[in-house]
Chains A and B, each alone.
Chain A
């Protein structure tokens, strides 16, 4: 029999309500609160331990909470980790996400939780954790626990996992290549979709674009003539030997290239490795994607203070939003370090 461990907050761990929200983490052998229900529903594993931590403790002393809990787990055997369900409780959702992510990173086991769609934990951790769409309140406890257990059983038995939507968890932003049972080629499927669309019928896209989360508009550059401007591009412009081995599609890597001594990007020194378009134009004149020459002209005129020493590159085709977001965050660190004031992103 495989083993599972469940994380609960102070309330569901039967320690107390809001007044006990500072409760420091403990690990108990056996089944507390919803752990009993989870254990009953799980067929391929038994729940051996319950971890309980106050929501505020996790919120305000996160590092300490995570470290304590990871230490608890160090000498335990377990094959899967559950947290919640957290329903619409925001702090609890955050806690479940934080601990699931940490446990997954440290121990490499699958981590499963459940939250209401409005729980901020969903947006924060859907990329890292299987978060099932759960109820609004504890009235849905049995149902949500069963959902988590059913999926846990499926993972543990090695059964084939279906896409997020079919399983019922929030999409993690990961794409998989799948072979359809029907063996119907993409060309037929797309034409069927088009016909449906033209007839005003419902159709289901195979490439859903995740709903946009909006970012507040950054404060504008105050004085362009003193500003350092950086170029980022998704058109795959790299030195001809592609030193960072950025992939031509579905990129997971990016590169930064020093142009501090260049007036323009020369064909033969730079090229595009983007697999989504005819590279001839950009190979001959990489400035059509990374307009270094134009920026240099504005630098000379004094319209801008300075062109940042580096430009940044990745390839946008087939790249998932999750990967793009991660690369974006990584590039941000470099922009901060260089005190860049404004960014031009050229996308292809």
Chain B
């Protein structure tokens, strides 16, 4: 799906837990998430921490959309 959307010319970033799979299928911009059932917020942690994580990683993804990368890139996240 990522590829078809990118093929149509839309900048797209994939937020994925299985980064190697995202790479194999050909996503060009990848931001890691923390798990499969809850990619952007671990329910075992306080709400505040979940929000911080989600806000941060979505921010990284948004910045990734503006980056002019030349190859498949996995973007770094802080938490």
Contact = CB atoms under 8 A, between A and B. Distances in A.
Contacts of B17: 347-348
Interface in B1-34: 1-18, 22, 24-29, 33
Given A234-B1, A280-B43, A288-B39, A344 B58 contact: yes
Contacts of B12: 218, 342-345
Contacts of A294: 40, 51, 54-55, 58-59
Contacts of A329: 4, 8
Interface residues of A, number: 58
B1 to A, nearest CB: 4
A317 to B, nearest CB: 10
Contact of A345 (B9, B13, B42, B68): B13
A285 to B, nearest CB: 6
Interface in B44-79: 50-51, 54-55, 58-59, 61-63, 65-71
Interface stretch (A124-132, A133-141, A177-185, A296-304): A296-304
A270 to B, nearest CB: 14
A325 interface: yes
A324 interface: yes
Among B17, B29, B62, residue most surrounded by chain A Cβ atoms (within 10 Å): B62
Interface in A55-111: none
Contacts of A327: 1
B5 to A, nearest CB: 6
A297 B55 CA distance: 8
A345 B1 contact: yes
Nearest to A303: B62
A347 B13 CA distance: 11
B67 A220 contact: yes
Interface residues of B, number: 50
A332 B17 CA distance: 24
A284 interface: yes
Contact of B5 (A212, A232, A282, A346): A232
A276 B35 CA distance: 12
Contact of A288 (B25, B50, B68): B50
A166 interface: no
Contact of A332 (B5, B13, B41, B67): B5
A288 B41 contact: yes
Contact of A348 (B4, B8, B36, B41): B36
Given A212-B24, A221-B65, A328-B3, A284 B10 contact: no
Closest A-B pairs by Cβ, 5 of them: A328-B4, A328-B1, A281-B38, A294-B58, A277-B37
Interface of A: 209, 212-222, 224, 227, 229, 232, 234-235, 276-282, 284-285, 287-289, 291, 293-295, 297-298, 303-304, 314, 321, 324-325, 327-329, 331-332, 335-336, 340-348
Given A277-B36, A328-B1, A342-B62, 7 more contacts: A217-B6, A217-B70, A281-B43, A287-B41, A325-B3, A342-B11, A343-B11
8 contacts: A218-B11, A220-B68, A229-B62, A345-B12, A345-B16, A346-B16, A346-B33, A347-B18
